[in-house]
Amino acid sequence: MAENIIFYGSSIALAAIGLLIALTRRNLIKIIIGLDLMETGVNMFLISIGYRRGGTAPIFDIPLSKAVDPVPQALVLTAIVIGVAVTALALTFAVRIHEKYGTLDISKLREMKW
């Protein structure tokens, strides 16, 4: 039970704090930081699902009954790299918005009509 709380609990808590940053903050770059933390938390949750009790890494000559699950690791490898590319694209949107409107506050941006 303690293992559940440590691994599942900290990854879900990281994703929850990222979601809270994206919901309660008004600066656009702070919102993007919150989305980045949410992606990191979800990736960690996926890998902690695939762990096997007493297992080792699926590399070199392994006895088959003792390896952790390799499929979530392959999927999370993909997800991390895509996450950084999408974060970079979101940040260039923020740069362009700041250049055109002079502010990054989403409550002020919402009031501007065209």
Partner 1 sequence: MPEVILIISGVLGFFLLVSALVAWLTRDLLVAVLATAAAGLLVSLFYLILQAPDVAITEASIGAGLTTGIFVYVLSKTERYEK
Partner 2 sequence: MIKKAFLILLVAFTGYVFFVAASARPFGSPRVVVSKRYLEKGLNETGSQNIVTSVVVLYRGFDTLGEVTVLFLAATALAALISGFPFERKERTEPSLVMSTASRYLFPLILLFGAYIFVHGHLTPGGGFPGGVVIASGFLLMFLAFRKYRVSEGGLIVTEGLAGFFYVLIGLIGLYLLGSFLASFLPPGRLHTLLSGGIIPLIYILIGFKVGSEMTGILRSLKGEDENG
Q: Which residues bind partner 1 (CB under 8 A)?
A: 2-3, 6-7, 9-10, 13-14, 17-18, 20-21, 25-27, 29-30, 33-34, 36-37, 40, 43-44, 47-48, 51, 53, 55-57, 59, 68, 73, 76-77, 80-81, 84, 87-88, 91-92, 94-95, 98, 104-105
The Cα–Cα gap between 12 and 42 comes to 7
CA 51, distance to chain mean position in Å, is: 19
* 3-state secondary structure (DSSP) of residue 10: helix
Contact present, 39 and 9 (Cβ < 8 Å): no
Can residue 23 be called a binding residue for partner 2 (CB under 8 A)? yes
- Report the partner that residue 114 touches, choosing among partner 1, partner 2, none (CB closer than 5 to 8 A by kind): none
